[in-house]
Structure 1
Amino acid sequence: MATKKTDTPAAEQPELSYEAAREELIEVVRRLETGGTTLEESLALWERGERLATICQEWLEGARARLAAAVDQD
């Protein structure tokens, strides 16, 4: 999964594993649910969470495609 669909150029965005993206997303959600952040901080966290969710979704879609390809080979 080398290519990520985000508004950040690929050269500026480091590759994240599914697990790393999921863990960071969990932390973002926790911080949003806890509150105590400014509106600007909350918006930035929300935007980061959206990007992380997209990364996780892309990994899952790639895994589904690989599984489907493996099943088709049998």
Structure 2
Amino acid sequence: MSHITFERSRARWERSSYSGGEGGQCVEFARDFAASGIVPVRDSKDPEGPAIVTSPGSWTSFVSAVRSGGLADL
């Protein structure tokens, strides 16, 4: 597995609209790097913690699955 880095200080994190408003399961992502071929994703409860990095296409597929209820059983 390769290690991908990005400049975290340049990231403008957005909280997913599917994250609960109670401060529970909150996912944040940064679109800023999509032109570079990556979308960083992190847990908003641990903003200095690790971020996973995925491709824009994979992120779009994941969001589509969430919207359609395809991940409801997980």
| Structure 1 and Structure 2 fold alike (TM over 0.5) | no
Select the structure of larger CA radius of gyration. Answer: 1
- In terms of fraction of residues, the more strand-rich structure is 2
Structure having greater relative contact order (Cα 8 Å, sep ≥ 6): 1
TM-score, with length taken from structure 1: 0.31
TM-score, with length taken from structure 2: 0.31
